[in-house]
Amino acid sequence: MTSANSSTLPPKLVDPFARTIDYLRVSVTDRCDFRCTYCMAEHMTFLPKKDLLTLEELDRMCSAFVRLGVRKLRITGGEPLVRKGIMTFFDGMSRHLGNGLDELTLTTNGSQLDRFAQPLWDAGVRRINVSLDTLDPVKFKDITRWGTLDKVLRGIDAAKAVGMRVKINTVAIKGFNDVELFDLLDWADRSDLDLTFIEVMPMGDMGEVQRLDQYWPLKDLRAQLATRFTLTELDYKTGGPARYFEIGETGQRIGFITPLTHNFCESCNRVRVTCTGELYMCLGQEDMADLRAPLRASESDTPLEDAIHAAIARKPKGHDFDYSRQQVAGQTIRHMSHTGG
């Protein structure tokens, strides 16, 4: 589809604070084959199929964003690789690489990588993020509820074997993987994997799981690292919110995503679209724009592009996440699996 008035639209998406929005994260499903305790309740009620954007609608929507200046597209979920026929979407998106799109990538739990690594590479995916919070098989089973560590490790090996660069995303969880900090670092070094630590974010009702009990500030994690290693901040950027450091003793590059202890909103260049077509201008705010309605209302992309521009025009300056004063402030009611990791 082409927009009838695309030539009159601004070439880039720029928010009210002069930030250029060139990074889109799209959830293609709310379903997952894990039930990680910081992401989902154990007994989830998933969305009916009719509410989800079809793969064709996802293609059309993402293509509109690329026309409007998005340079990086990250596919998320849920677990994106459990969506039936997902490779037709990746294959379709690959046509934009080198033609507006600089990078097509995904975040995955790794459970399906053993069979999808080669097709993803063939579609132009060169770098992926794998969510992995522990190297202990028993603890892995506990936190994912349904996952198997060996299967994920095989998937990581398969991705490396086809040539992908793999970054491990580890959620820092107090009382769970804080004792594994140096083991995780050593494993990533030996395996030639990048490693990024992420603070627990207050999203969704986890039932018996309390966010404040899980929260391990990354400033404390860094202080623990500093007892053994020298950390030097780098200028390296991947387009996301991570700040990167080099470990002097090993030469490793590690990242920190700190939405709570170090607010990164001033440089935010990204928006998220859910699997139902809800555009969230900020992960930590409830304001959203419905893109599914204009998608389904017209064969022209003009209403869709107008809706995208109108949404970016009200992107907030920052989120409201806060764990101060021993309470969870700024908590959003939607699950991370709905918005996209």
Is 196 annotated as ligand-binding?
Answer: no
| 38 CB neighbour count, 10 Å cutoff | 20
Residue 222, annotated ligand binder? no
131 annotated as ligand-binding: yes
Q: Judge whether 211 is annotated as a binding position.
A: no
- The answer to whether 95 is annotated as binding is no
Which two three-digit tokens encode residue 2? 């082409």
Q: Is 154 marked within a binding site?
A: no
143 contact partners, CB below 8 Å, separation of at least 6: 36, 37, 38, 133, 134, 173, 176
Phi, psi of 24 (to 5 degrees): -120, 130
- Does 19 appear as a known binding residue? no
User: Are 228 and 182 within 8 A, CB to CB?
Assistant: yes
The reply to whether 268 sits in an annotated binding site is: yes
Burial environment of residue 187 by CB neighbours within 10 A (0 to 12, 13 to 18, 19 or more): middle
Describe the strand order of the beta sheet including 270-273 as a list of residue ranges. 231-233, 243-247, 253-257, 194-199, 165-172, 127-131, 103-108, 72-76, 23-27, 270-273, 278-280, 288-290
The verdict on whether residue 74 carries a ligand-binding annotation is yes
Query: Is 271 one of the annotated binding-site residues?
Result: yes
Nearest to 89 by CA among 55, 123, 122: 55
The response to whether 25 counts as a known ligand-binding position is yes
- The annotation status of 38 as a binding-site residue, yes or no, is yes
Nearest CA to 123 out of 169, 80, 154 is that of: 80
Contact between 168 and 135 (Cβ < 8 Å): no
Residue 62 counted as an annotated binding residue: no
Residues that constitute the known binding site for S-adenosyl-L-methionine: 38, 78, 131, 201
Binding residue numbers for [4Fe-4S] cluster: 32, 36, 39, 265, 268, 282
Q: Which residues are annotated as a binding site?
A: 25, 32, 36, 38-39, 74, 78, 107, 131, 167, 201, 265, 268, 270-272, 282
